[in-house]
């Protein structure tokens, strides 16, 4: 018996995915739990295993197609087994108009029911003397449209068939050459998430800076220890530690808003999302229970997640459950930014480029290692004064790194 395997609901609110590639082909013998396809969904590429053993009778999509949850992916059955025919769309019998002088149609009532055509198209065929059973439909689902009937009539009359104009993708506009790039994969998912965040949250950005001169010295000392463990120690683990310390003093920034119940949900755990730049978009894996990890453990976890994100092997579970996000733009450059909140979180911190900058400190001109900090927050949940207090505490922990690196 043929089994229709539908794209399953894999949880986490996933409703669709893009078919990256098939791992089987029609006619293959497969076993239960054998991977059938790679599907990109919500910024992760996942393998979809077969729930059945048998022969692949039909693959219902091609690579790069968007598949909705519940649509049939694969038909699986016994070797040589025929696929069930799709049920014909039956239409109620129509009153047929009187035959025209051009010609008379002789379809039986059964043929009329099987032929997919609107009354208007049937009337045109009758007037032109074209038997619909000889016409191949080019409309949706094989439906016969007016152009199909006219084409058959012209062919019968000896009119040369017009060659269809190939669809040529425009490579120029009125100003010059252009290139078209499909919105797919990570870029498509990123676009949807960013639009959702901007449309739902009331974005405001607070900007400040921290003197991380001492932090830079501590990091330099700890790098050798990290290298021995095969870990690249960036500034990010220090930022995570400082953020958690500040969040514990300002819990409203570690929250989400339940609009339906009109409640602010304050999270008592600290799962920190780390934005990772990949070639075709942005992926935000999450360091779970970050408050319970040491600085080195956080560094190891960030490295693992970043490598998996770039290799597109990150697990879906690693992309969920975030309570606050950090985007480290500074590793590339820049002095200020207005990051978009990773909805449904209520705040995101952008850390910009650390650089030697001149500042006046207690009446003296000094050169410090300055770290610009830009925090976007949802003004529906948090007020600017609370964010300013959060930033003051965050800066305190960054400027006193011994408080976040011990233990």
> Tens of pLDDT along 335-348?
999 999 999 999 99
364-382 confidence digits (pLDDT tens): 999 999 999 999 999 999 9
Q: What are phi and psi of 317, to 5 degrees?
A: -60, -30
Specify the fold of 185-405: Chloramphenicol Acetyltransferase (3.30.559)
Give the separation between CA 349 and CA 326, rounded to whole angstroms.
5
- Residue 131, pLDDT > 70, answer yes
CB atoms within 10 A of CB 122: 20
Give the separation between CA 289 and CA 276, rounded to whole angstroms.
19
Domain with CATH 3.30.559.10 in the chain: 185-405
- Residue 351, pLDDT > 70, answer yes
pLDDT band at 143 (very low <50, low <70, confident <90, very high): confident
Mean pLDDT along residues 128-133: 84
pLDDT given for residue 12 in this prediction: 59
Mean pLDDT along residues 343-356: 96
Average pLDDT, the chain: 86
Domain with CATH 2.40.50.100 in the chain: 3-77
Annotated catalytic residues are 379
- Residue 99, pLDDT > 70, answer no
Give the separation between CA 390 and CA 249, rounded to whole angstroms.
8
Mean pLDDT along residues 304-333: 91
Count of alpha carbons within 13 Å of 26, Cβ hemisphere only?
12
Structure tokens at 266: 């304050």
Specify the fold of 94-163: Dihydrolipoamide Transferase (4.10.320)
CATH C-level class of 3-77: mainly beta
Domain with CATH 4.10.320.10 in the chain: 94-163
| Nearest residue to 236 via CA among 371, 355, 393 | 371
| Residues forming a β-bridge with 371 | 210
């Amino acid at each position: 018996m043929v089994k229709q395997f539908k794209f399953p609901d894999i949880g986490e609110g996933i409703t669709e995915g893009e078919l990256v590639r098939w791992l089987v082909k029609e006619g293959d013998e497969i076993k239960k739990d054998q991977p059938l396809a790679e599907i990109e969904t919500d910024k992760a590429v996942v393998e979809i295993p077969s729930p059945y053993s048998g022969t692949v009778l039909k693959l219902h999509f091609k690579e790069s197609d968007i598949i909705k949850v519940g649509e049939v992916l694969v038909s699986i059955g016994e070797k040589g087994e025929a696929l069930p025919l799709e049920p014909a769309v039956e239409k109620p019998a129509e009153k047929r108009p009187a035959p025209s002088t051009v010609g008379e149609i002789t379809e039986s009532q059964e043929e009329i029911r099987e032929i997919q055509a609107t009354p208007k198209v049937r009337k045109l065929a009758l007037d032109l003397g074209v038997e619909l059973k000889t016409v191949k439909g080019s409309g949706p689902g094989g439906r016969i449209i007016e152009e199909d009937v006219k084409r058959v009539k012209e062919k019968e009359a000896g009119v040369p068939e017009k060659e269809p104009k190939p669809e040529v993708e425009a490579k120029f506009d009125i100003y010059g050459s252009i290139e078209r790039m499909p919105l797919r994969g990570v870029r498509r998912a990123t676009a949807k998430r960013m639009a959702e965040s901007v449309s739902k949250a009331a974005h405001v950005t607070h900007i400040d800076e921290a003197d991380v001169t001492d932090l830079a010295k501590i990091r330099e000392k700890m790098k050798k220890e990290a290298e021995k463990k095969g870990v690249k120690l960036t500034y990010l683990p220090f930022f995570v530690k400082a953020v958690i310390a500040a969040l514990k003093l300002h819990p409203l920034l570690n929250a989400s808003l339940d609009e339906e119940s009109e409640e602010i949900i304050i999270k008592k755990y600290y799962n920190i999302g780390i934005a990772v730049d990949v070639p075709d978009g942005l992926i935000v894996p999450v360091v779970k229970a970050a408050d319970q990890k040491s600085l080195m453990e956080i560094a190891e976890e960030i490295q693992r997640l970043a490598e998996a994100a770039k290799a597109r092997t990150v697990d879906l579970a690693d992309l969920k459950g975030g309570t606050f996000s950090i985007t480290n733009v500074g590793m590339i450059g820049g002095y200020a930014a207005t990051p978009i909140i990773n909805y449904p979180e209520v705040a995101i911190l952008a850390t910009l480029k650390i650089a030697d900058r001149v500042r006046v400190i207690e009446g003296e001109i000094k050169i410090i290692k300055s770290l610009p900090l830009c925090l976007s927050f949802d003004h529906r949940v948090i007020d600017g004064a609370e964010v300013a207090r959060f930033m003051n505490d965050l800066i305190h922990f960054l400027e006193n790194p011994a408080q976040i690196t011990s233990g």
